[in-house]
Amino acid sequence: MQSMVVTHDLTKTFRRPDGSEVQAVKGVELEIHKGEIFSLLGPNGAGKTTTISMMSGLLEPTQGDALIGGHSISKQPLQAKRLIGVVPQDIALYPSLNARQNLEFFGKMYDLRGNDLSGRVEEVLSFIGLTDRQKDKVDTFSGGMKRRLNVGVGLLHRPELVFMDEPTVGIDPQSRRRILDTVKQLRDEQGMTVLYTTHLMEEAQELSDRVGIIDHGEVIALGTQGDLIQQVGEEDQLVFAVGDQAVDSGLLQQIRDQVPGVTRTSYDPPGPGGESVTNTSGLILIQAKRGRKALPDILQITNRAGVEIQSVEVREPDLEAVFLNLTGRALRD
Amino acid sequence: MKVLQIAINDLRLFMVNRGNLVGLLAIPVGMTIILGIFIPSGRPSRIRVDLIDHDAGEVSAQFLQSLRQANSSIVLCPLDNDPEDFCQMEGDSTLGTEQALERVREGDSLALIEIPPGFSEQVRAFEPVRIRYVSLESFSAPSFIRQAVEAALTRVNGAVIASRIGAAVLPGSIVDEGYPQRVYTRAAELWEESPASVDFVLSAGEAPDPSSAPDLGGFGQSVPGMGSMFALFTVLGGMGILVGEKKQWTLQRLATMPITRAQLLGGKILSRFSLGTLQYGVVFAIGVVTGINFGRDLVALVLVILTFTLTCTALSFALGGFLKNEQQAAGVTNLLGLTLAPLGGAWWPLELVPPFMRVVGHVSPVAWAMDSYTSLMFRNGELQDVLVPLLVLAGMSAALFGFGIKRFRYEL
C-alpha cells in the first residue's frame, strides 16, 4: 500500500515563559496510506494539533521530519504543501469578506487563476452547500456554515491529502453529520487521503480506516479498530451513574478485589469534560470480562457501601475502552 | 505575485471597515486643516544667528546694526537675547567658537557670524579683513541670512569708501584729522536712512495678502507634521490587524499554503507601507490645495516620505511580535503615536523646544522626517541636504525589520 504521510521521530518541544521546556510531541512515528481516513484520537492537550501543525509546515519540528507524498516538510515545504489541504480547528476565515471572496483569495494562494479559480470556487461552494450564500459576509453565517466554508477552503486545490483538525468542534448535530459525510465522500468519491484528529471516540469509530491513539504527545496505539479493540481483549465497560454522591477509592478497590472478571475501576466525577461533553453525573467505570455476569456482584457491593446506582450501561469493547485500558483514564479526562 | 495578492487582500480588508476610512481620511484631513489655520505660521517669526564679536569696535557695531536692519527676523545671539531666552543660552552670556559651531550643526541656530579682532581698524585702514560665516545651508540655495550679511557689509564698506573718497577729493589744508571719521559716520547714518529696504517674511508659501486671504503659512507645519503623525498611526495600526489575523487563524492558514515566509511577510509589509504612503498622500493633497511650498527637490521629498513610512512599517513589525491581542495593539499604537509625533516635531517645530528636548526628540523617527521636510520645504534644500536624516531612517528601518522578522511567530 502506497504511503501518503510518513513521520519519523517527529518531536516538538516548547519553551515556557519561565524557561522550562515541555515536550508536546514525543518522537511520533506514523505512516498514513494513500486513500485512507486515518484518525488521530486523543484527549484535549494530547498533542494532536501540534502534530498536525508540524506536518502542515506551520510549526518547525524540534526533531524528526514528516514526508508528505515523498517530500520533506522541512526541506521541501512548498512541494509538500501543494499536496496538502488544511482544515484547522479554528474558523480561519476573513469575517468581513463574503464566502466567495474568501475562497477566491485562498485559491490564489494555491496558484489557481482565472477560469480554473472561478470554476473551482463554484464546485466547492456547491460541495459545501453554500452556493446561495456565496455573496454574504462570513460574519453573518451560523457556526455550522462557517465550519463548512472552513472545510471548503482546504479542498479548493483538490489536495491529495487533507488534514482536518477537530472540524466538528462546537457545532450542532446536523452540521456535524454533514461534515462527517463530507469526510467520507472525500475518500470514497475523490480518493483523497484524510488525517482526521478528534477527541470524540464516536467520530473516529465512524470514519476511520485506521486509528492512532495519542496521549501526552506519544502515539500509544495504532491500527485498525479491530486491531486496537483486540488489544483490550473481550472486556466490557460497565458505566454506573451515581449522581453527585461521593465515591471513595476504597469502594473501587473492593470491587476490583471481590468481583471475578473485573480488571480495572475508575471514578469520573460530575462536571465539565471535553469541549462538547459535560458530565451531569458522577460515573463509576469498570472494565470486566463478561461484564453482564459481574453486574449483580458489583451492585451488591455498592449497595452495601450506601452508594445508590441511578443507571447502568454495559458497553461492548470500543476505542474508549482501548484508551481507558492503555491510560487508565477516560478520553475526555 | 503572491506578495501583491496578499497586500491587495489586506488593503481590501482595511477598506471594507468604514471606521478605518474615517481614520484614513476624515480625521487627518480635519486635523491638518484645523492646525494649518490656527497655527499662524509654520515657522517661528525670528531666526537665531549666533554671533562672536572679537572686535567689539565701532565698525563692527555699525555692521551689526546694519545686519539687524537688513533682516529684522534675525536675532543675534547672545547679544540680542531676550528675557525668555530666545537664544537658548541657558544662563550663558557668551559663546565660544566650538559651542557655536555645535549649535549650528545641531540646528539650534541657523548660522554663525564671527567677527575677527581688529575688524574696525582694518576696515578703516581699508585693509583686507574677512568675517567668518558658518551655516549648514547649501551654498547653491538662496540664503536670507547670507544675503543680510552681504547687505550689511556693503553698507560698512560703502561708508568707508565714502570717507576715503571725501578725504581724497578735498585739499589737504582743509581736511583735519577727524574729517574722514565724520564722513564715515555721516555715510553710515545715510545708509540707515536709505529709503529702500527689504522686509523679509518667513513663510512656507507665497507671501499672503493679509487684507484678503487667511494666513495659510501654518499648513507648512501642519501638512508634513500631520502627514507624518497619521502615517505613523496608520502603519502602527497594522499591528492590531496582524494580531487579529493570528487570533482568527488566517495567518496560520496562509502559513500552511504553498507560500514562502518571505512572500507572506512581504505582502503584510507592502500593505502597511502602501497604507502609510496613501495616508501621506491624503494629507499632502491638502498642502497642494493650500499652495504650500514643497521645495524644489520633489524627488528628495518623495524619498523622505517613502523612507519614513518604511521606518514606521519596520517599527510596527518589531513591536507586533510582543502583542497578544488587539487591545494591547491599540494601546501601543496610541501611546507611540501620541508621544513620537509631538516629540519629533509633528505638532510644532522643534526649533521652539529647548535644546535637550531637540536631542531627545531625535529618538523619534518623526524628528528625522521633520528635519528633512524643514530642509526641503523651508530652506529649499536638495537631496544632499537630507542625506543624513534619510540614512538614519534607513538604518532604523533595517534594525527594526531585522529584529521584527527574527521575532516573528505565526502563533500568538
Q: Which of the four pLDDT bands, split at 50, 70 and 90, describes residue A332?
A: low
Q: What does the pLDDT average to over A196-215?
A: 92
B253 — contact with chain A (CB < 8 Å)? yes
Residue B141 has pLDDT above 50, yes or no: no
Residue of A nearest to B264 (CA): A109
A57 touches chain B (CB under 8 A): yes
A286-311 pLDDT per residue, tens: 988 888 889 999 999 999 999 999 99
Segment A255-281, tens digit of pLDDT? 999 999 898 899 988 876 544 455 678
A317 touches A235 (CB < 8 A): yes
- B244 to chain A: closest CA residue: A94
Minimum-distance CB partner of B252 among A58, A108, A153: A58
Q: Specify which residues B48 forms β-bridges with.
A: B75
Contact A111 B256 (CB under 8 A): no
Of residues A202, A66, B132, the one with CA closest to residue A211 = A202
Interface of B with A in 143-162 (CB under 8 A): none
pLDDT at B42: 46
> Do the beta carbons of residue A243 and residue A318 sit within 8 Å?
no
Partner-chain contact B256 A96, CB within 8 Å: no
As a whole number, mean pLDDT of residues B217-241 equals 88
Residue in chain A nearest B7 by alpha carbon: A105
CB A214 within 8 A of CB A51: yes
Task: Looking at B17-73, list the stretches that DSSP marks H as alpha helix, in order from N- to C-terminal side.
Answer: 18-21, 27-38, 58-70
- Which amino acid belongs to residue A35? G
Amino acid at A269: P
Q: Identify residue B174 by its one-letter amino acid code.
A: I
d(CA B391, CA B74): 31
Q: Average of pLDDT values for A95-100?
A: 95
Is residue B314 scored above 50 in pLDDT?
Answer: yes
* CA B14 to mean position of chain CA atoms: 32
Residues 230-249 of B with CB under 8 A from A: 248-249
Q: Do the Cβ atoms of B13 and A94 come within 8 Å?
A: yes
B126, pLDDT greater than 90? no
Instruction: Decide: B136 and B114 in contact? Cβ < 8 Å.
Output: no
Is any Cβ of chain A less than 8 angstroms from the Cβ of B16?
A: yes
What is the least distance, in Å, from the CA of B255 to any CA of chain A?
Answer: 6
Q: Do A88 and B257 touch (CB under 8 A)?
A: no
- Measured between alpha carbons, how far is B88 from B352 in angstroms, rounded to an integer? 10
> Region A131-145: what's the mean pLDDT?
94
The residue of chain A with its CA nearest to that of B8 is A105
Which residues in chain A are contacts of B253 at CB distance < 8 A?
86, 88, 92, 106, 153
Whether the per-residue pLDDT at A87 is higher than 90: the answer is: yes
Q: From CA A102, how far away is CA A93, in angstroms rounded? A: 7
Contact A108 B257 (CB under 8 A): no
Q: Does B322 touch chain A (CB under 8 A)?
A: no
Residue A83 contacts B where some CB pair is shorter than 8 Å: no
Which pLDDT band, with edges at 50, 70 and 90, does B411 fall under? confident
Q: Residues of B with CB below 8 A from A108's CB?
A: 2, 5
B324 in contact with A at a CB cutoff of 8 Å?
no
Predicted confidence at residue A237, as pLDDT, reads 84
Judged against a pLDDT cut of 80, whether residue B144 lies above it is answered with no
How large is the average pLDDT for residues A107-132? 94
Rounded CA gap, B199 and B188, in Å? 20
Q: Does B11 touch chain A (CB under 8 A)?
A: no
Question: Contacts of residue B260 in chain A, CB cutoff 8 Å?
Answer: 78
Question: Measured between beta carbons, which residues in chain A are less than 8 angstroms from residue B252?
Answer: 58, 88, 90, 92
Per-residue model confidence as pLDDT tens digits over B246-279: 999 999 999 999 999 899 999 999 999 999 999 9
B250–A92: do the CB atoms touch at under 8 Å? yes
Which residue do the cell numbers 585739499 mark? B171
**Among positive and negative, which fits the CA dihedral B9, B12, B16, B21?**
positive
Q: Which of B2, B9, B256 has its CB closest to that of A56?
A: B256
pLDDT (tens digit, 9 = 90+) per residue, B171-219? 666 667 777 777 777 776 766 665 444 444 443 333 333 333 344 467 8
Residue pair A315/A237 in contact (Cβ under 8 Å)? The answer is yes
Contact A190, A158 (CB under 8 A): yes
Give the contacts of B180 (CB within 8 A, at least 6 positions apart). B124, B163, B164, B166, B167
Q: Is B252 on the interface with A (CB under 8 A)?
A: yes
Q: What is the pTM of this model?
A: 0.71
In this prediction, residues A86-115 reach a mean pLDDT of 94
- Which of A94, A117, A147 would you mutate first to test chain B, the one with the most B CBs within 10 A? A94
pLDDT of residue B199: 45
List, for residues A148-160, the tens digit of each pLDDT value: 999 999 999 999 9
Q: Closest Cα of chain A to B258: distance in Å?
A: 5
Q: Which residue has the higher pLDDT, B72 or B317?
A: B317
C-alpha distance from A2 to closest chain B C-alpha (Å): 24
- CB within 8 Å: B253 and A111: no
- Picking from B48-62, B126-140, B215-229, which range would have the lowest pLDDT averaged per residue? B126-140
B9 touches chain A (CB under 8 A): yes
**Higher per-residue pLDDT: B142 or A327:** A327
Nearest to A81 among B248, B249, B257 (CB): B257
Mean pLDDT across the stretch A232-243?
84
Q: What is the CA radius of gyration of chain B?
A: 27
Give pLDDT, residue B143. 64
Which residue in A has a C-alpha nearest to residue B252's C-alpha?
A: A58
Flag whether residue A243 sits within 8 Å of chain B, measured between CB atoms.
no
8 Å CB contact of A94 and B250: yes
Contact (CB<8Å) A91/B248: yes
Cell numbers placing B136:
549648514
Structure confidence at residue B191 (pLDDT): 63
Predicted ipTM > 0.85: no
**Which of A58, A101, A106 lies at the smallest CB-CB distance from B410?**
A58
Kindly calculate the radius of gyration of chain A based on its CA atoms and give it in whole angstroms. Answer: 22
Minimum mean pLDDT range among A54-63, A238-247, B352-361: B352-361
Would the pLDDT of B62 be above 80? yes
Mutate to test the interface with B, among A53, A60, A97, A105 (most CBs of B within 10 A): A105
Instruction: Name chain A contacts of B256, Cβ cutoff 8 Å.
Output: 56-58, 81, 84, 86, 88
Q: How far is A82 from chain B (nearest CA, A)?
A: 6
Under 8 Å between Cβ of A236 and A314: yes
In this prediction, residues A74-96 reach a mean pLDDT of 94
Measured between beta carbons, the chain B residues lying within 8 angstroms of A111 are 258
Query: Between B249, B259, B260, which is nearest A92 by CB?
Result: B249
Interface touch A96/B249, C-beta < 8 Å: no
Portion of chain B with pLDDT greater than 90, in percent: 34
Alpha-carbon gap, residue B277 to B308, rounded angstroms? 9
Query: What's the whole-number mean pLDDT along residues A1-19?
Result: 91
User: Of A81, A89, A97, A109, which to mutate for an interface test with B (greatest number of B Cβ within 10 Å)?
Assistant: A109
User: Of the given ranges (A92-96, B90-94, B184-188, B331-335), which has the lowest mean pLDDT?
Assistant: B184-188
Of B12, B13, B254, the CB nearest to A109: B254
- Residue A82 near residue B257 (C-beta atoms within 8 A): no
Contact B259 A109 (CB under 8 A): yes
Residues 6+ apart with CB under 8 A from A228: A211, A213, A221, A319, A322
Each domain of chain B, given as residue ranges in start order, spans: 2-40+215-407, 47-193
Q: By mean pLDDT, which of A99-113, B62-76, B159-173 is the weakest?
A: B159-173
State the pLDDT at residue A108: 95
**Is the CB of A227 inside 8 Å of chain B's CB atoms?**
no
* Each residue's pLDDT tens digit, A44-80: 889 999 999 999 999 999 999 999 999 999 999 999 9
- pLDDT at A333 (0 to 100): 56
Of A82, A88, A94, the CB nearest to B258: A82
Using the predicted structure, report yes or no on whether residue A212 has a pLDDT greater than 80. yes
Overall CATH class of domain B47-193? alpha beta
**A240 and A305 Cβ atoms separated by less than 8 Å:** no
Q: Does B382 have pLDDT greater than 70?
A: yes
B352 has a pLDDT exceeding 90 = no
Nearest CA in chain B to A80: B258
Q: What DSSP character marks residue B350? A: G
